[in-house]
A and B are shown apart, each in its own frame.
Chain A
Amino acid sequence: MNKQKDATIPTIPAKARLSRWFGRNLIRIYAVFGFTYLFIPVLYTFAFSFNDSGKSNLIWKGFTLDNWKNPCGAPEVCAALGNSIKIGLLATVFSTILGTMIAFAIGRYAFKGRSSSNLLIFLPMATPEIVLGASLLSLFLVFHINPGFWPTVIAHVMFCISFVVVTVKARIASLDPRLEQAAMDLYANELETFRRVTLPLVAPGIAGAALLAFSLSFDDFIITNFNSGTLKTFPEFVYTSAARGIPAQANVIGSAMFILALLIVIAGQFVGRRVKVSK
C-alpha cells in the first residue's frame, strides 16, 4: 500500500473502520453464536462420555476411556440399544418401501382422490405424538394385541411413512418425465425403464428418506412408550434411568450415533462431489 506516499488519499477514521469491520463480519459473528447454541448440548454429551462418573454422570470427576471401551457396561444399555436398532431397521425398510410406492402414485399418476390423499399423508405429521401414541395403544388393545415389539414396529412404520412420502415425492417432482419416455423410446420396457432410469434417479431421495425414517424411529419416545409394553428401547432406557442418574454409557452411545450420522453425511457429500467432477 502506498498510503504514506500519497497524502491525497483521505484516511478513514478508526471508528468508521471498526464499524465497517463489524458490518462485514456481523454474519460470521452471528454464525458462531448460532452454532455454539446448536452444538453445546452435543459437546456436553460427548465430553461427559469420558467422565469417570460412577453412579451419576452429573459432575465431572475425571477423564477415562472406560465407558468407550465397555459401552455395554451399564445394565440394560445394550439390550435397549439392540431393540431400538432392530425396530429402527424394520420400520425403515417397511416405511421406505411403502412410502416410496405412495410417493410414486401421488407424484406420477392422476387419479381420483389424489389431492385428498396428498393432504391425508400430511396428517400424521401434524398430529401430536401423544395423541397418536395413545390412540394406537387403544387400537391395539381393541384387537387384543399386547403392546410389545411388533406393535412398536407397526406404530413406527405408520408415522415414518408420511416423512418418506414427502421426501421421495420432492425428488420425483424434479424428475423430467421425458427421461422415462426416452428410455421407453430406446427399447426399455416398463420394468427396465424403472430399474435403469427412474429408480437410479430417485435413489438419492429414497436414501435420504430411509435415513430420516431410521433417525425418527430410533429417536422416538412418546409413541414407543405407549406401545412397547415391557420392551425397552434406548430412549426409554435413557428416560427411566434419568431418575437415578444416566450412566455415561448412554453418552457414549449418543456420541457414537452422532459421529456415525456425521460420517454418513460427509461420505454422501464426498460421493456426490466425486460423481460431479469425474471425467
Chain B
Amino acid sequence: MADVSSATHGDLRLTRITKTYGDFTAVNDLSLTIPEGSFFALLGPSGCGKTTTLRMIAGLEEPTVGSIHLGATDITTKRPYQRPINTVFQNYALFPHLTIFENIAFGLRRRGIKDVTADVNKVLDLVELPHLAQRKPTQLSGGQQQRIALARAIVNRPALLLLDEPLGALDLKLRRQMQIELKWIQREVGLTFVHVTHDQEEAMTMADTIAVMNEGEIEQMGSPADLYDNPGTAFVANFLGQSNLIKGRIEGTDGDNLVVDLFGQKISMPKNRSHAVDKSMYAGIRPEKFRISLVGTPTRGNTLTGGRIEDVSYIGVSTQYQVLMPWGQEVMVFEQNDDGVPPFDKGDEVVISWEPNFTFALRGDDDVEAGLEVNPEELDEE
C-alpha cells in the first residue's frame, strides 16, 4: 500500500533543479514556486525541458541536482506512488483491459479505499460521462478519453494535478471547448493544476501564471497579460503572439519616460517597461497596438514616418498590413475592422503611431529571431 499522506499539501517548490542525460542538459538550474490552488502553465517549444520538469514532479524522473518540496515535505526521491500527485498523460494512458469505472477507481483502490462507487460516480458526473462507466477505453472518442483521464486523476483529489499536453490529440474545436472546461473544473475542485503545453494560446486561456521555458531554463514568469504586454526577452515576445522589434538607442530620460531613437526618429516609452541593460536596445510593439494613418492626417503618441504599405491581408475581424519602413524593415500592423475607415491599399504612403505605454524594450544584444522558428504545428510530440 502506498503511504500517501493526504495531509501533504501546500506550495510546490522546485529548488535549483538540473537534469542531465549524458552530455545533454534537459533542465538547467531551475527554481520555481507553484502556489497552492493555482492553474500554472509551463509553456515552451519542443525540447525546452518542460516535460522533463513535469516528469520530475510526478516522480517518473529524478533530478540530477536539486530538490522538490511539496509544502514542508521533501519529495525529491519519493516514488511516483508515494506522492499525492496525479498526472493526465499526453495520450491519456487509460488501461485498455479495464472498464472506465475501474480505470477511475484504480487510484482509490490502490490506496485501500473499499467503497469507491460514490466517488467514481461523482467524477463521472463532473466530466458529464456517467453513461460510459461500463465501457472499455477503446470504445470512447478522443474527447471522451481525455475527460476520463482527467476524472481518473482528480478522483484522488491530489495535492497537485499534472497535465502533459492534455489537449494535444484533440481537434481545434474540441480543444477550445476542453480549455474552458478544464478551467471550470479546476475552479470547481480547487486543486493545483500544472499544465505543460507548447500552445501559447492554450496556456494564456487557462493559466493564472505562465512560466515560459526555453533550453532548460525559465525565460520569464508571470500572468498571461504581463507576459504578453511586457515580455522580457525576444523569445517571449515572439513565442507569445507576434511582435515588431525595432533596433534603437536610449538617448536619455524625461521624467518617468525614456527617450529612444529609432533610426533617427524619437519616441518615448515608460522607464519601467525596459529590460535593456545599456543604451542599446530593441523597441517592441505588438502589431495590434499600431495605428496606420495616411501622411498628413493627425496622429497621437509615438509616430514613425516614411512607411509604405507592402501587403494587405483581410482576415475578417481585422486587416493585417505589412508596412515597409525607411530603414528597410517590414513591420506588421493589425487594424480592427470596426471604425468604418476604408482599408488602406498596397503602395499607400503612411505614418504608424501608437501609445507610448504599449512600448516595451529588450536588451540590444537579444536575438530577435529567438522563438520565431518554432512552428507549433510540428510540436505535437515532445
- A–B complex contacts, Cβ < 8 Å, 22 sampled: A176-B91, A176-B93, A178-B90, A178-B91, A181-B80, A181-B89, A183-B95, A185-B58, A185-B59, A185-B81, A185-B85, A185-B86, A186-B81, A186-B152, A187-B110, A188-B2, A189-B81, A275-B136, A276-B136, A276-B138, A279-B134, A279-B135
Residue among A181, A182, A189, A275 with the most chain B CB within 10 A?
Answer: A182
| C-alpha gap A184/B95 in the complex (Å) | 12
Say yes or no for B272: interface residue by CB 8 A criterion.
no
Identify which of residues 30-59 in chain A touch chain B, using a CB-to-CB cut-off of 8 Å: none
Identify which of residues 81-119 in chain B touch chain A, using a CB-to-CB cut-off of 8 Å: 81, 85-87, 89-91, 93-97, 106-107, 110-111
Please pick, from A182, A183, A187, the residue contacting B4 in the complex, using a CB distance under 8 A: A187
CB proximity of A199 to chain B, nearest CB, Å: 10
CB proximity of A206 to chain B, nearest CB, Å: 14
Please pick, from A179, A183, A187, A188, the residue contacting B156 in the complex, using a CB distance under 8 A: A187
Q: Is the CB of B111 within 8 A of A182?
A: no
Per-position 1/0 for A217-253, Cβ under 8 A of B? 0000000000000000000000000000000000000
Residues of A within 8 Å of B, CB-based: how many? 21
Say yes or no for B346: interface residue by CB 8 A criterion.
no
Identify which of residues 165-190 in chain A touch chain B, using a CB-to-CB cut-off of 8 Å: 176, 178-179, 181-189
Identify which of residues 246-278 in chain A touch chain B, using a CB-to-CB cut-off of 8 Å: 275-276, 278
Q: Is the CB of B81 within 8 A of A187?
A: yes
Say yes or no for A79: interface residue by CB 8 A criterion.
no
Chain B residues whose C-beta falls within 8 Å of the C-beta of A182 in the assembled complex = 87, 89, 93-95
Chain B residues whose C-beta falls within 8 Å of the C-beta of A185 in the assembled complex = 58-60, 80-81, 85-87
| C-alpha gap A192/B96 in the complex (Å) | 17
Beyond A186-B110, A188-B106, is A279–B139 a contact (Cβ under 8 Å)?
A: yes
Beyond A179-B95, A197-B95, A201-B96, is A189–B89 a contact (Cβ under 8 Å)?
A: no
| C-alpha gap A200/B102 in the complex (Å) | 14
Please pick, from B2, B60, B97, the residue contacting A181 in the complex, using a CB distance under 8 A: B60
Closest to A204 in B: B97
Say yes or no for B79: interface residue by CB 8 A criterion.
yes
CB proximity of A200 to chain B, nearest CB, Å: 5
| C-alpha gap A230/B205 in the complex (Å) | 80
DSSP class of A's interface residues: helix, strand, loop or mixed?
helix
Interface residues on B, range: 20 to 34
Chain B residues whose C-beta falls within 8 Å of the C-beta of A176 in the assembled complex = 91, 93
Please pick, from B80, B97, B135, the residue contacting A200 in the complex, using a CB distance under 8 A: B97
| C-alpha gap A196/B95 in the complex (Å) | 10
Q: Is the CB of B136 within 8 A of A179?
A: no
Q: Is the CB of B2 within 8 A of A187?
A: yes
Chain A residues whose C-beta falls within 8 Å of the C-beta of B87 in the assembled complex = 181-182, 185
Identify which of residues 189-215 in chain A touch chain B, using a CB-to-CB cut-off of 8 Å: 189, 192, 196-197, 200-201
Q: Is the CB of B81 within 8 A of A184?
A: yes
Q: Is the CB of A178 within 8 A of B81?
A: no
Chain A residues whose C-beta falls within 8 Å of the C-beta of B80 in the assembled complex = 181, 184-185
Q: Is the CB of A179 within 8 A of B93?
A: yes
Chain A residues whose C-beta falls within 8 Å of the C-beta of B138 in the assembled complex = 276
| C-alpha gap A187/B86 in the complex (Å) | 9
Chain B residues whose C-beta falls within 8 Å of the C-beta of A188 in the assembled complex = 2, 81, 106, 110
Rank and list the top 7 A-B pairs by shortest CB-CB distance, nearest first.
Answer: A186-B107, A187-B110, A182-B93, A184-B80, A187-B2, A178-B93, A187-B81
Chain B residues whose C-beta falls within 8 Å of the C-beta of A186 in the assembled complex = 81, 86, 106-107, 110, 152-153, 156
| C-alpha gap A154/B27 in the complex (Å) | 52
Identify which of residues 124-138 in chain B touch chain A, using a CB-to-CB cut-off of 8 Å: 134-136, 138
Beyond A178-B91, A183-B106, A186-B152, is A278–B4 a contact (Cβ under 8 Å)?
A: no
Q: Is the CB of B139 within 8 A of A201?
A: no
| C-alpha gap A192/B110 in the complex (Å) | 8
Closest to B111 in A: A187
| C-alpha gap A130/B135 in the complex (Å) | 52
Residue among A183, A186, A200, A278 with the most chain B CB within 10 A?
Answer: A186
Q: Is the CB of B89 within 8 A of A178?
A: yes
Closest to A177 in B: B93
| C-alpha gap A207/B111 in the complex (Å) | 31
Closest to A182 in B: B93
CB proximity of A88 to chain B, nearest CB, Å: 29
Chain B residues whose C-beta falls within 8 Å of the C-beta of A189 in the assembled complex = 2, 79, 81
CB proximity of B69 to chain A, nearest CB, Å: 19
CB proximity of A192 to chain B, nearest CB, Å: 6
| C-alpha gap A185/B82 in the complex (Å) | 9
Closest to A196 in B: B106
CB proximity of B113 to chain A, nearest CB, Å: 10
Q: Is the CB of A278 within 8 A of B86?
A: no
Chain B residues whose C-beta falls within 8 Å of the C-beta of A279 in the assembled complex = 134-135, 139
| C-alpha gap A196/B59 in the complex (Å) | 20
